[in-house]
Amino acid sequence: MATASKPLLLSDMVSSGEMNQVPSKYIHPITERPNYQNVVPDSIPVIDLQNLNGPNRSQVLDEIRRACSDNGFFQVKNHGIPESIIANMMQMAREFFNLPLQERLKMYSDDPTKANRLSTSYNVRTEKISHWRDYLGLHCYPLQDYIHQWPTNPESFRDIAAEYCRSVRALALQLVEAISESLGLDKDYISAQLGSHAQIMALNYYPPCPQPDLTYGLPGHTDGYVLTLLLQDEVSGLQLLKDGQWVAVDPVPNAFVINIGDQIQVISNDKYKSAMHRAVVNSEKERISIPTFYCPSPDAVIGPAPQLVTDDEPAVYRQFTFEEYNRTIWKDGLSKCLDAFHAT
Ligand code: OGA
Ligand code: NI
């Protein structure tokens, strides 16, 4: 367990004193700061999954194909996860971040190889600029390998988070099938490429920030995994880069924001894009988001699907193991890792 001699967590720095200025290590160079004047209002599609498993499946697949080829971002409603499971998870996350410091610090670690840990920013060991975020990272699949390392405070944390993870995994599997089919591949193709599969979750906590135009909750990045299913509370902050402009992705109650990760960009041979996105902060309200990252297992070998490689569209990427990719994800700050995996 860590000691509390200097604040390890952003939330404790923020709540322990009169913080009316962002400390210098959080300040981005002037050309890389969020420019709120240039952010475009929300325009990403909300796809109704009600008909995904019915006679109108092909229409839903068309919508998914369009969203994935366009910018790889969409929201889903009528996804089958009960509202109570969503509400309980969000409530549990809020309660966790409201626990006394000493209690939360039991989960603290700055070691990115540790599967279940509370930390701050992104990778505090290597990054040059810090981000306005604390987060609890949890591995969720196979559940029995990890659940004993999860918090036990709040008391029902494990039960509620486990139920949430199981539900989100079922939705992720349906979306992975639909995405596979929408690419013209067998519906099981992508799933079969993911080895024994893995699932990670982050509970992101963004405290109010006195100068939100100087820093980020998370600066622009792509998600390095297969698929992200993000639950956000009612406070806006997520933005995606579309045609060179930042677009707000505003919260829709009980919906999930879905985005394509780097691994699908590779398997699809660039037909689908893993879009740049970021989280901005605000001076008024704390914000909580809970992304689930659906992942290959470390031994999975990822590469463009042979069916999507032609003379006209040669393989854009080489094959790699997910273990190799995952090492680059955590190497330094947040970045776009895909460039390192181009075919030669
Ligand atoms: C992430 C992420 C966005 C958000 O955790 O990878 O992009 O709105 N989060 O918290
Ligand atoms: Ni992300």
CA torsion 45-50-54-60 (nearest 10°) is 0
Beta-carbon-side half-sphere exposure of residue 92 (alpha carbons within 13 Å): 25
Which residues of 110-213 form beta strands (DSSP E)? 117-120, 134-141, 198-206
- Give the integer Cα–Cα distance in Å for 63 and 78: 15
For the chain, counts of helices (H) and of strands (E) = 9, 14
- The token pair at 166 is 């199981």
Residue with tokens 């919508």: 63
| CA-proximal residue: ligand 1, atom 6 (nearest) | 223
The amino acid that residue 154 corresponds to is P
Query: Is residue 193 within 6 Å of ligand 1 at its C-beta?
Result: no
Name all domains of the chain by residue range, CATH numbers in brackets.
Answer: 22-341 (2.60.120.330)
- The token pair at 18 is 């009169």
Residue 24's contacts (CB-CB under 8 Å, 6 or more residues apart) are none
CB atoms closer than 10 angstroms to residue 343:
13
| CA-proximal residue: ligand 1, atom 1 (nearest) | 291
- The Å distance, Cα 218 to ligand 1 centre, comes to 7
| 175 to 61, 172, 258, 315: CA distances (angstroms) | 10, 5, 9, 24
Q: In residues, how long is the chain? A: 344
Of 42, 47, 34, the closest CA to residue 249 belongs to: 42
The pLDDT of residue 4 is: 46
Q: What are phi and psi of 206, to 5 degrees?
A: -110, 105
Q: What are phi and psi of 210, to 5 degrees?
A: -65, -30
- The Å distance, Cα 260 to ligand 1 centre, comes to 13
Q: What are phi and psi of 315, to 5 degrees?
A: -60, 125
Write the pLDDT tens digit of every residue in 312-321: 999 999 999 9
Write the pLDDT tens digit of every residue in 140-168: 999 999 999 999 999 999 999 999 999 99
Q: Are 259 and 277 in contact (CB under 8 A)?
A: yes
Residue with tokens 């920030």: 209
How far the first Cα of the chain sits from its last, in Å, is: 46
Q: Are 213 and 283 in contact (CB under 8 A)?
A: no
Query: Is residue 235 within 6 Å of ligand 1 at its C-beta?
Result: no
pTM of the model: 0.96
Write the pLDDT tens digit of every residue in 283-341: 999 999 999 999 999 999 999 999 999 999 999 999 999 999 998 887 766 677 898 89
- The Å distance, Cα 227 to ligand 1 centre, comes to 12
- The Å distance, Cα 258 to ligand 2 centre, comes to 10
- Give the integer Cα–Cα distance in Å for 13 and 24: 14
Q: Tell me: cis bond preceding 100? Omega within 30 of 0 counts.
A: no
Alpha-carbon 26 to chain mean position = 21
The tens-digit pLDDT sequence of the chain (344 residues) is 554 467 899 998 888 766 889 999 999 999 999 988 789 988 899 999 999 999 999 999 999 999 999 999 999 999 999 999 999 999 999 999 999 999 999 999 999 889 999 999 988 888 899 999 999 999 999 999 999 999 999 999 999 999 999 999 999 999 999 999 999 999 999 999 999 999 999 999 999 999 999 999 999 999 999 999 999 999 999 999 999 999 999 999 999 999 999 999 999 999 999 999 999 999 999 999 999 999 999 999 999 999 999 999 999 999 999 999 998 887 766 677 898 899 98
Of 221, 254, 179, the closest CA to residue 333 belongs to: 221
